[in-house]
Amino acid sequence: MSDNRDIAFELLEMCWDFLATIKQQMLYYRSCTYKEEIAQIIDKEVAKIKQVLELFDNEDMLDPINDYYASSQIQLTPGECSLSARVAYLTNGIASQLKRFSYARMKHCSFKQLVCQNSQLLLTMSKVGSRRWALFNNISKTKYPNLRRNM
């Protein structure tokens, strides 16, 4: 069975995958006429990243996402495109947080509990049949007894 460190790094890798999708969608956004649909896809990916990062119970990791949502409320002058700038700040901020991640500073008890509680959600975010899917499928089936001790 995997330990907490393996799960933490699998979650970080999941965030990197979501970031790659966001960057790819921004390329489409800049060149297509279906901007509203692309913006919705980006918002869904941002929501997924937020759900995963909340499992680490670290407010610093969520700062770029909170800034992204807050900046969407600002009124802009007509014709100004803020999505590109907002997404650039978001992706740079999240990438910076993921690179600075420190397993040693994690709150292990809350991480264990949150992973167990959200194992089904993590399973739905993973590609069926992947290594990540197998890990979260195992957690959701067994409720991961190794994670539950010392809580």
Domain ranges of the chain: 4-148
- What integer pLDDT is reported at residue 100 of this predicted model? 83
Q: How confident is the model at residue 59 (pLDDT cuts 50, 70, 90)?
A: confident
Q: Are 84 and 68 in contact (CB under 8 A)?
A: no
Q: How confident is the model at residue 14 (pLDDT cuts 50, 70, 90)?
A: very high
Structure tokens at 31: 């060149």
Of 20, 2, 6, 9, nearest to 91 (Cα)?
Answer: 20
- What integer pLDDT is reported at residue 151 of this predicted model? 34
Beta-carbon contacts of 83 under 8 Å, excluding residues fewer than 6 positions away, are 29, 35, 39, 42
CA angle 123, 51, 29 (to 5 degrees): 100
Whether the per-residue pLDDT at 3 is higher than 70: the answer is yes
As a whole number of angstroms, the distance between CA 127 and CA 2 comes to 19
Share of the chain above pLDDT 90, in %: 28
